[in-house]
Amino acid sequence: MSWGAIQLIPGVDTQKTLSANSAGVSLSQLIRFKDNMLQTDGGWVSFVNFTVGSTVRDLHAWQDVTGTQHLAVAATAQLGVITLGSYTNITPQTTITNPPPNFSISSGSNLLTIVDGNANASLFNTVYFNTQIAIGAYLISGAYHINSVLGSSIYTVLLPSQSTSTVASSGILPLFSISSGSQTITVVLPNNNYQAITGLFQQFIAPTTVGTSLPTIVQGKYQIVTVIDSTSFTINSPTLASTTASARMNGGNAQLVYYVTLGPPTIGSGFGAGGFGSGGFGTGTVQSGVPGTPIATTDWTQDNWGEILLSCPVNGAIYAWSPDFGYQNAQAIPTAPFFNGGIFISMPQQILVAYRSVQSTGVQDQLVIRWSNAGDYTNWAVNNLTTAGSFHFPSGSLIVGGIQCPQFALISTDLDAWTMTYVGGTVIFNFTKVGTGCGWISSHACGILAGNPYWMSSNNFFTIGASGVTSLPCSVWDQVFQNISVANQDKIRCAINSSFNEVMWFYPSANTAGENDSYVKLHIEGNEYEWSYGSLTRTAWTDVSILGPPIGADNFGQLYQHEVGTSFPGAGQPTFQTGNWTIAEGQSLPIIDMIIPDFVYGLRSGLQNASINITFFGADYPDGPVTTYGPYTVTSTTQFINTRIRNRLLAALVQGNASSEFWRIGRIRFRFAQSGRR
């Protein structure tokens, strides 16, 4: 009798055939490689005893100045903060009204008085004009913080300068005119002060119907074709007009969006005004301001400015919240851009960066990045006294995302990777293209591990090395990139697990209903890349933080803390299958009568009570009939397995046999003899 042994090669390889992957792993689920050994992943437990009511898209942990630890949970229908196990809903709220234009200014004053019967005005609110309004010498558009409240329906906002005229109860909206058979739309908009600048765009948010028979709908972003004078300009409709007609924007009514911030409870509103114990004695819980409608979104990006949480829903405004503010929900920053793809904070200068932000006209541009003054996220004014600025990327269709690395920020368009490096002076940032054809596959597809960025593109994985962007050799490429739901790739999340030097990507498979249900994992061991893959639903993730080990969210809104315990709720058992190893090089037909398992059967600090099922698959040819042997159950008391295997090729399937256990595989030995040729 002869003895053979199998020492598994680290890493999973789905590129090779089973026979070419001799002594390798070809299938995996919830396993990891550590010190060239294969073992089970760390388990996870519920982080809190409740679920979030919608799909979580982003998690961010931080600590305030009092040492209190928080977890921001950004979901499709809500924004919340978990503090000491309790959840606070801080979802931004809005109210949209369509009042007739009733705006007044007085000569020598910089106050604009607005009358809106549905305003529910509050000093904590910001109003955004979806319709441009001309009054006196001003063109009112964009965001204004409410300066004073004269009544729930009357309030004022500050203008940039004092008025030179008095105008009462007025306001002129844009007038659109079309001619039958033409795609030209003439826009009359007093005080626009546009000049004939190539590439200038104007955005019309509130929709306007012009004409009655096959009408033209004016809504969205339009490039200005010609500037007629200081009042009029033309844009082009994508279709020819079927009639000649004119119409005021939004049917002649202003459209105002109120970004509602619910202020702190009113002091002295009386004992018993709220539920018992809901506020301090004698304060009650009467809120300042009238609630609006909570916003909904498909994605979020978040960061913290010291103790202040900054959150941005995709294509939305930037919101700030801190326990010190005393507000009941996140407040829109009125001076920041109101349309952004996402945000991050550039360090160490502490500059808030927004990508897919707005041009100077307030129109969102998919290739514009803007940043605030250093140390002041409310100051976006570009002048000699600030470091605020902007940059327009010259290539690509849109900025996919951005992230701060130790020495630079990394920005990705759909095509290229750029570094954003602080240089100060009048330039502030240098932008350098460092890679082409390697754009991120989603806004959350990049993470930082040991100081280096790693990201997933639409066809490979990349990092930045000494010579620039380099692709990562991936031994599970086909398992991942031939199995992605392209329609849902924007949901892909990069998940860093720095404690184990791992970076994962959760992605939606081709058979999914839309959410992430699969993962691919890279373990970096020295200069070696060890890959594995499996099935797991995670829609958001945050690495090791002040809250401890990594936290992830499943597609039901349940939060889990990973690397805790040895159980895997909702995910089955750790499993792997080897490639085919050849017995005696296949010269003769062998018979294997004994296999000696070699496992660690539990954590070093715990019981050695793991139970493991091993199934063997025997064949004589790579594509020949397969004979199944087992499964055999092994424990710490199992010395050997009696078998009667008669095949040239042999593969093993190893599966956990209980709901909570840890195991690690060593060097498997087997005894065989020749039984003749076939």
Secondary structure of 527-592 in the HEC alphabet? CEEEEEEEECCCCEEECCECCECCEEECCCCEEEEECCCCECCCCCCCEEEECCEEHHHHCCCEEE
User: What pLDDT score was predicted for residue 676?
Assistant: 57
Strands 126-135 and 319-321: unpaired
Mean pLDDT of the region 72-96: 97
Choice among 122-126, 159-163, 271-275, 290-294 with the minimum mean pLDDT? 271-275
Specify the residue for token string 């039984």. 675
For 64-137, strand residue ranges (E) read 69-75, 79-83, 86-89, 93-97, 103-105, 111-115, 126-135
- pLDDT-based confidence at residue 161 (cuts at 50, 70, 90): very high
User: What pLDDT score was predicted for residue 551?
Assistant: 98
User: What pLDDT score was predicted for residue 273?
Assistant: 35
Q: What is the pLDDT of residues 536-591, one digit of tens each?
A: 999 999 999 999 999 999 999 999 999 999 999 999 899 999 999 887 665 667 78
- pLDDT-based confidence at residue 197 (cuts at 50, 70, 90): low
Mean pLDDT score of the chain: 92
- pLDDT-based confidence at residue 511 (cuts at 50, 70, 90): confident
With b meaning 16 or more CB within 10 Å and e meaning fewer, what string describes 623-646? Answer: eeeeeebbebebebebeebebebb
Mean pLDDT of the region 253-280: 64
User: What pLDDT score was predicted for residue 677?
Assistant: 54
User: What pLDDT score was predicted for residue 317?
Assistant: 97
Q: How far apart are CA 151 and CA 168, in angstroms?
A: 18
Mean pLDDT of the region 40-47: 96
pLDDT at 218 over 80: yes
Q: 557: left (phi > 0), else alpha (psi -120 to 50), else beta?
A: left
Mean pLDDT of the region 495-518: 94
User: What pLDDT score was predicted for residue 279?
Assistant: 36
Q: What is the pLDDT of residues 410-461, one digit of tens each?
A: 999 999 999 999 999 989 999 999 999 999 999 999 999 999 999 999 999 9
Express as a percent the part of the chain with pLDDT over 90. 80
Coil vs helix vs strand at 85? coil
User: What pLDDT score was predicted for residue 283?
Assistant: 35
Q: What is the pLDDT of residues 103-154, one digit of tens each?
A: 999 999 999 999 999 999 999 999 999 999 999 999 999 999 999 999 889 9
Coil vs helix vs strand at 265? coil
Specify the residue for token string 């099935």. 535
User: What pLDDT score was predicted for residue 229?
Assistant: 87
pLDDT at 282 over 60: no
Q: How many residues does the chain have?
A: 678
pLDDT at 654 over 50: yes
Whether the model pTM is above 0.85: yes
Q: How far apart are CA 520 and CA 522, in angstroms?
A: 7
